[in-house]
Structure 1
Amino acid sequence: MAVAIAVLIAGLLLAQTWGWTQSLELAVFDRMVQMQPDPGPDPRLLVVEITESDLQRFQKWPLSDRIYAHALQELQKHHPKAIALDIFRDLPNPPGYEELVAQLQQPNVIGITYFGNSNIERIPPPPTLAESQVAFSDLLTDPDGVVRRNLMFLPEEDRIFQSLSLSLALFELDDRGLTPKIAADNNYHLGNAIFTQLKPDSGGYQAIDAGGYQILLHYRSRDPARRVTLGDLLDGRYDPAWVEDKLVAIGTTAPSLKDTFFTPYSEVAEGNRKMPGVLIHTQMVSQFLTAAIDDRPTFWFWPAWLETLWILTWEGLGVCIGMRLNHPAMLAVCTVVSLSALALISYQFFLHGGWIPIATPGLGLLLVSAAIVTYELQKARQQQSMVMRLLGQQTSPEIARALWQQRDSLLESGMIPGRTLTATVLFSDIHNFTTISEQTSTDLLMSWLNEYLQAMTREVTTHHGIVNKFIGDALMAVFGLPLSHYNTSEDARNAVSCALAMRDRLRELNDNWAKRGLPVIQIRIGIYTGSVMAGSLGGKERLEYGVIGDSVNIASRLESCEKDRQIDNCRILIARQTLIHVYGEFEVEFWGPLQLKGKQHSVEVYRVLGKLRK
C-alpha cells in the first residue's frame, strides 16, 4: 500500500509538472476573480465606446477619419490627461484624414499597432505618429481562450514596444513622479509596486509561453471604467468632469465587430459573455494605477520547491484522513472541511496577491484519501470473507455485524486466536439415518439432505447462533460465539428456542416429504452450556473455526444417549447446566442422572417439552 501511495503522489507531482492540472488551476483562478470584492469603475478612467447603435447611426464601418477627429477634438476641449485610440488607423479613410492627423499629433494621444502571431498579421500604427505615441494592442489568451495575462513589453529589432495599457497608465504615473524601472531582480517597479514577471510555471500555470514581459492580469471589476457612447460624446450628452484630467480610451464594444474576449467573468456574465478588448485594456490600466498609487497588492508566486511542499502537505493530510477515518460520514465531513480550509487559505493568499496551487493539492488530497479508502474497503472485504470463512457457515445478521465491528480484535495474522468462553452447544442428528440412506438413491438422498440441513441452518441463524460444522447428517451449532459480551442465559434461551423451532420446522418438512414420497424422519438434539475453547484450527492452506472442549463432548453425548427413547419426531435433551439459565421458561421432564458415554460422572438430563405459557 505504501508503494502504491508513493507512486500516486509522484504521479500527481508529475501531472502538475507536465501541465495536466493547469486547466483546473485556471478554473479555480477564475472563480476567485469572480469572488473578489468588486470596487466598480476606476474613477480615473473613461471609455468612449462604439456601440451597435453608433454603427446604425453612421451606417458604415470602418468609420471615417472625420468622426474620430471630431471625437478627439471634443475630448481635448476638457483637458484629458491622455487619450488612447484603440482603433487601427494605418490607412486613410476619408473624408477628414487631415483633420485626424492634426488630432493625432497632440502629445497626449496614443495610437496602436498590432503584432499578431506573424508578420502577415502585423498591422502598423498610423504613419503620422511619433514613436513615443505608438503602443501595441495585442492581448494574450490562455489555451482555453481566456485573457488572464497582461503583456507589458514586446521587443522588435532594436526597439521595445509598450502595451497600450502601460503607455496610458504612465501618463498618470509620470504626473505623480512615479518613474518605472526594471530592477536587478528583472521585475518591473512602479513606485513601491513590483510587478513579478511570469514564468512558464508561475502559480497555477505549468506550461505557457512566457515570451515578452508578461504579468498576471489583476482584474478590477466586471465594469472597470465609466463609459459614454461615441454618439453621446459627439452630441455633447456627457459630463465634462468625466473627461477632465482622466485617462480616456476609445474602442469598440459592439459585438458584431468581434473585438471581444473571454475573461474570468465570462462564466457568470449575463448576456454577451465576452468582454470588449478596450475594457480589458482599461482593466490593465487600472491594475498599474491601483498597484502604484492605491497600494493594491501585486501578484506573487511561490518557487517550485515550496509549491511541491505545499502539495505534499495536503496529500499527506489525505493519507491521514484515509487511514484514520473509517466511518463514511466522518470521512466525508473531514474531506469537505479539509478542502474548504484549502480553498479559504488559498483565497486569502489571492486577496493579498498570492496565486498558489489549489486544484492540484485538492485533487491530491481527494485521490490519495480515495485510494486509501478503496484499499481499506478491499481489505475489509477480504477480512470479512476471511471471518466468514473461518466461522465456517452463516451467522445471523446481528452476529455478523457485531463480528465485523470487532474484526480487529478477533483477527490476528489472518486467524482468530483461541479464546476460552462460555457458550451453549447444540448437536442434532437424524434417527436411523443409516437405514434411510441404504433405501434411497444417492442423488435423491443428497438433495433431500440438503433441503433438511438448509432449513435447520436457517433456524440456527434466526436464533442468533452459528452453524459450526456438518458431520454427515449431524449438525453442530454454537450460541454465544465468537463474541464474549453476549449474555450466557440469553445464549441458552436462544439455543433451546432454536431446538423447539427445529422441531416445528421438521413437522412441516415431514408433511411435505410424505406428499412427495420422500423419507419422513425423526431427529435428536442435545444441548449443553459450559466453557469451550474457540478459535482457528488448521494451517495456512486450510482453516476452519473450531470449537473444542468438554462442553462440546457432553452436548454430543446428550444427543446420542438413550437412542431407543425416541418419543416424538424431535427429542430435545438438555443438562442441568443449561436448565439453570432457562429455568421457568420451558416445560421440561426430568430423566434423572445419566451416565453418558466416555464420562466418569453422571449428568442430570432433562427433556424439553415446550415453552411455558405465561
Structure 2
Amino acid sequence: MMKGFFKSQTSTLLDLSDRLKIALSEFTGVRVVAIASLVVSGFVLGVRHLGGLQPLELVALDQLVRLHSDPGPDPRLLVVGITEGDIRTQKQWPLSDRTMAQLLAKLQSLQPQVIGLDVYREIPQQPGNAELKVQLREKNIFAIKKFGDTELELVSPPPGFPEDRVGFNDLLLDPDGVVRRNLLFVSDDTSTYFSFSLRLAIAYLESVGITPESSQQNPDYIQLAKAVFVPLQQNSGGYHNIDPRGYQVLLSYRSSNVARQVTLTQVLKGQIDPNWVKNKIVLIGTTAPSAKDTFSTPYSPAEKTIAKMPGVLVHAQMVSQFLDAATGERPLFWFWDERIEVLWIVGWTLLGAIAAWWLRHPVVLILGCGVGLGVLLGTCFYLFTLQGWVPLSAPVLGFILTSGVVITYRSYDAQQQQQIIMKLLGQNTSPEVAKALWKGRDRLIKSGKLPGIKLIATMMFADIKDFSTIAEQMPPEALLEWLNEMLDVVTHEIIGHEGIINKFTGDGFMAVFGVPMDRIHKEEVALDAQRSIECALAIGEILEELNQNWKTRGLPVIQMRIGIFTGPVVVGSLGGKDRLEYGVIGDSVNTAARLESCEKHRQPSNCRVLIGKETLVHLDNQFLVESWGPLPLKGKQQMVDVYLVVGRQRERASEV
C-alpha cells in the first residue's frame, strides 16, 4: 500500500501542459513565423517611412552602380578640361576672354555639333572680350547660369547671350553630399528654365530628328523619342521624403570615365584628332582641383586618388543619359509602386522567418540564410541591370531581423523543451544523460515518446528492511519527511555516479546505469557496472552517517538491501496517452529486483549489496566480493550465481 502510495510521479514523461505544447508544436511554428514577420515588417516599414533606411538604400545604390558593367566613354562626347597645367601655362585664372575665344575658334574649325561652355563668363576678363563675343554668336554654343540658394550666389550668363541657349548648372546633392539626381527643369511663377545638360542633349538630338514633346502617358511629362521622363516623387525607389521640386530623374551614370578628355593646351596647339570633335558634343569646363568644382558620386568610395568628379564630367554624365534614353541604348530608371514594394519587403521578411524556423541544423541554417540573402541581392542586382531600382536594404534588414527573432525564440523554446525532457527522468539525470536526451529531443517532442532501444545496462534495486514495521509506528507526515531526507542524499549519489533514478517505490528506488545512451564498447559497459558498485558502497557509507543522526533525533535507524545486475534491457516510453514513463524492461531488471529481495534474513551489514556474476565479470577485481553460490530467485527457473560486495580492494589492502 505504502509503496503504491509513494510511487514517484517524477518518472512521468510529460504532464498535461507539456503534452499540450507538443500537440500544438506545428501550430506554434506557424504562429511564431507569422507574428515575427508581422512585427518585423511593421518595424522595417515604419523606419523606412520615416526615412531611416534611406542612407542604407543610397549606399546600396552606389554599390550597384559600381558593380554594373562599364560600357566605357560615350563616343558622342568630348570634354575639354582646364587643368592645373593649363592654368599655369596661361598664368591667369579665370582665363582671359581671348584664350576662351581662341579655344572656341579652334573647336569650331573641327565642326562640332554642340559646344557647352561650363565656365562662368558673367564678368569680362580682358583682353579679348570683343573676340569672345564674336565666338559666342555661334548658334551651337551654350552657356551656363547659376541660381544658387541666395541672391549672392546667383551667376548670370555672358552679357547679351540668348536665353534659349542658356542652361543652369546647379546640381542636386543628396543628404550625404552625393550627386544621384538629374534636374531637368526648374520653374517660377513666370518661366521654366532648362538645365545645361538638357539644353546640350536637345540641341544634339534635333540634328538627328528627335525633338522633345509631351508624353501621351501624362502631358506634364517630357518625352524624347520613346523615352518618357517620369519625374521622381518623394518616395521613389530608396528615397523617402526627398524634396521633389523641379523636374528630377534618377541619374544613370554611364561610367566613371564618361567621355574622352583632352586639355585646353592640347586643343590650342592642335594636338587632337579632328574626329574626336566632328559632330560631337564638346563640353568645356575646369578639371583643376584648385577650382573646387568637384562633386561626390557613387564612384567616389572606390576611387583611391581623386575621389570627387569635376562638375563638367557630371554634366557629361547627364547629357549621356539623355542621349542614351532617347536613342534606346539605356532605358531610364523605373520604380515599383509603393504597394508592390511593401509586398516585396514583407515577402522577404516572411522568408527569413520561415528559413530560421525550418532549418534547424546550424550549418544548414547558415547556408540557407546565406543562399536566401544571395538570391535577394542577386535579384536586386539583376533588376538594376534592367534599370530598376527596388528596395534592397529594407528586405535585407527584414530578412535578417526575422531570422534573428525566430532563432531567439527557438533558443528560448529549446530551453522550454529541455525542461520538458528533463522531466522524463524526474530531473534526476546526470549531465551526460541529460545531454544525450537533449540530442534526441526532436523525436521526443514530435511523437511525445521515446522509441524502444535495446542496450546493455546495469540495474540497481534498493529497499529498506522492515519498512512496514517502521511505517506502522510513525505518523504519515513524519514518515514522508524522513523518507525524503534519505532519498535526497541517495539521489545525489546516483546522479554523481552518472546513473539515473528510474522510479521511487516508497521505501526504495530503481536506478539504472548506462541509459539512455547505447554502450558500444565493452569498456563502457564495465564502467557502468563499476560506477553502480561505487554508488552502492557510497550509499552504505552515507547510511551509517544518517543512522547516527537519526538516532540522536529519536528517529528510526534502518538497514538497506541493494541488488545489482548487468544485462540486456529495452528502454523507451512506456504507458498510454494519458501517462508515460521512461520504462526499462527485460529479464535483467527482474533479476536485479530479485537479488535485492533474496535471502532477506542474511544482513551482514547495514547496507547489503548483492550482485550477479554478470556484473562481477565487469568489475576488474576492483572490489572484494564474497560468493554466496548459486541461489534460486523468485520467478526464475535457473539458479543465479550471487555475490556479496564486501568493499573496495584498495581499502582492504590498506587495512592489511
**TM class by smaller structure:** 0.7 to 0.9
Unmatched 5+ stretches in structure 1: 433-445, 511-520
Which AA in structure 2 matches 1:426? M
Q: 1:173 Cα deviation (Å)? A: 0.6
Once the two structures are superposed, residues 254-276 of structure 1 have per-residue CA deviations (whole angstroms, 9 ceiling, x without a partner) of 11221111111111112011111
| Matched-pair contact (CA < 8 Å) for 2:449–2:572 | no
Distance in 2 of aligned mates of 1:115 and 1:99: 27
Residues 325-380 of structure 1 deviation map (CA, whole Å, 9 limit, x = unaligned): 11111111111111111111221111111111122112111111221111011110
Q: Check if 1:141 corresponds to 2:173.
A: yes
Instruction: Please name the residue that 1:40 is paired with.
Output: 72
Q: Secondary structure at the match of 2:144?
A: strand
- TM-superposed CA distance for 1:319, in Å, is 2.0
Matched, 1:500 2:533: yes
Instruction: Name the aligned partner's letter for residue 457 of structure 1.
Output: I
Seen in structure 2, the aligned counterparts of structure 1 residues 557 and 180 have a Cα distance that, compared at 3 Å, is: same
- CA change 1:563–1:210 in 2 (3 A) is same
Q: Which residue of 2 aligns with 1:249?
A: 283
Give yes or no for contact 1:105–1:128 (8 Å, CA) kept in 2: no
Change (3 A) 1:212 1:349: same
Choose the corresponding residue for 2:264, options 212, 227, 230: 230
Which letter does structure 2 place at the counterpart of 1:341? V
Name whichever of 110-119 and 381-390 sits farther off.
381-390
Q: Does 1:9 align with 2:35?
A: no
Aligned residues: 575
Match of 1:458 among 496, 505, 515: 496
Distance in 2 separating the partners of 1:505 and 1:12: 61
**Deviation by residue 1:190-243 (Cα, 9 ceiling, x = unmatched):** 112222221111112222111111111111111101111112222222222221
Does residue 262 (structure 1) correspond to residue 296 (structure 2)? The answer is yes
| Alignment match, 1:66 | 98
- Taking the aligned partners of 1:569 and 1:66, their CA distance within structure 2 comes to 122
Q: 1:536 to 1:378 in 2, by over 3 A?
A: farther
CA deviations 1:518-543 (Å, max 9, x no partner) are: xxx99863235778896799x9xxx9
Q: How does 1:212-361 map to 2 (within 5 A)?
A: 212-361=246-395
Shift of 1:482: 5.7
Contact 2:117/2:142, CA 8 A, preserved across alignment: yes
The alpha-carbon distance between structure 1 residues 126 and 547, as it changes in their structure 2 partners (threshold 3 A), is: same
- Report the AA paired with residue 160 of structure 2: T
Q: Please list, as runs of the form range in 1=range in 2, the aligned pairs for 1:479-498 lying within 5 A after superposition.
A: 479=513, 495-498=528-531
Which residue pairs with 2:631 in the alignment? 592
- The 8 Å contact of residues 323 and 372 in structure 1, kept in 2 or not, is answered as yes
* Contact 1:104–1:128 (8 Å) recurs in 2: no
Q: Residue 101 of structure 1 corresponds to which residue in structure 2?
A: 133
Distance 1:328 1:77, change over 3 A: same
Measure how far apart 1:472 and its partner are: 11
| Residue in structure 1 matching 2:56, options 21, 24, 27 | 24
Instruction: Give RMSD over aligned pairs.
Output: 4.2
- The aligned amino acid for 2:299 is Y
TM-score by length of 2: 0.76
Measured in 1, the distance between the counterparts of 2:631 and 2:383 equals: 86
Pairs within 5 Å for 1:106-117:
106-117=138-149
1:526 is the counterpart of 2:563: yes
CA contact (8 A) 1:110 1:134 kept: yes
Q: Name which of structure 1's ranges 491-500 and 4-13 shifts more when overlaid on structure 2.
A: 491-500
Paired with 1:491 and 1:420, the residues of 2 have a C-alpha distance of: 20
Quote the Cα distance in structure 1 between the aligned partners of 2:491 and 2:438.
Answer: 26
Which residue number in structure 2 is paired with residue 514 of structure 1?
none
Match of 1:56 in 2: 88
Give the secondary-structure state (helix, strand or coil) at the position aligned to 2:76.
strand
Partners of 1:305 and 1:321 in 2: CA distance: 24
Relative distance call for 1:158 and 1:77 in structure 2 (3 A) is: same
Give the match's secondary structure for 1:331.
Answer: helix
Pick closer, same or farther for the CA change 1:536–1:311 going to 2, 3 Å: farther
Cα deviation 1:447-494 (Å, max 9, x = unaligned): 9999997565332x1xxx3245789997752246567x7799999766
Alpha-carbon distance, 1:100 to partner: 1.7
Comparing 471-480 with 231-240, which one deviates more in the overlay? 471-480
| Residue 385 of structure 1 pairs with residue 419 of structure 2 | yes
Q: Distance in 2 between matches of 1:591 and 1:607?
A: 9
Contact 2:594 2:633 in 1 (8 A): no
If asked which structure has higher relative contact order (CA below 8 Å, sep 6+), I would say: 2
The equivalent of 2:474 in structure 1 is none
CA distance in 1, matches of 2:399, 2:450: 41
Q: Distance between the aligned counterparts of 1:222 and 1:29, measured in 2?
A: 15
Matched, 1:126 2:158: yes
**How far has the Cα of 1:23 moved from its partner?**
1.4
> Structure 1: how far apart are the matches of 2:618 and 2:585?
27
CA distance in 1, matches of 2:248, 2:630: 101
- Picking from 366, 375, 400, the partner of 2:400 is 366
Partner Cα distance (1:426, 1:289) in 2: 91
1:431 and 1:492, CA in 2 relative to 1: closer, same or farther beyond 3 A?
farther
CA distance in 1 between counterparts of 2:56 and 2:141 reads 41
Matched, 1:157 2:180: no
Find the aligned partners of 1:470 and 1:482 in 2 and give their Cα distance: 18
SS at match of 1:210: coil
Helix, strand or coil for the counterpart of 2:201? helix
Compared CA separation, residues 565 and 421, structure 1 to 2 (3 A): farther
Q: How does 1:196-207 map to 2 (within 5 A)?
A: 196-207=230-241
Cα–Cα, structure 1 residues 452 and 243, in superposed 2: closer, same or farther, change >3 Å?
Answer: same
Contact persistence 1:153–1:213 (CA under 8 A): yes
Three-state SS of the structure 1 residue aligned to 2:115 is strand
Distance in 2, Cα, partners of 1:255 & 1:508 = 91
- The 8 Å contact of residues 48 and 251 in structure 1, kept in 2 or not, is answered as yes
1:473–1:494 Cα change, 3 Å: farther
Stretch of structure 1 that moved more, 219-228 or 295-304:
295-304
Higher deviation after alignment, 235-244 or 143-152 = 235-244
2:494–2:511 Cα contact (<8 Å) kept: no
Native 8 Å contact 1:115 1:136 kept in 2 = yes
Matched letter for residue 573 of structure 1:
L
Structure 1, 148-157 or 466-475: larger mean CA deviation:
466-475
Uncovered stretches (5+) of structure 2, i.e. residues with no partner: 1-31, 467-483, 544-557, 620-624, 647-656
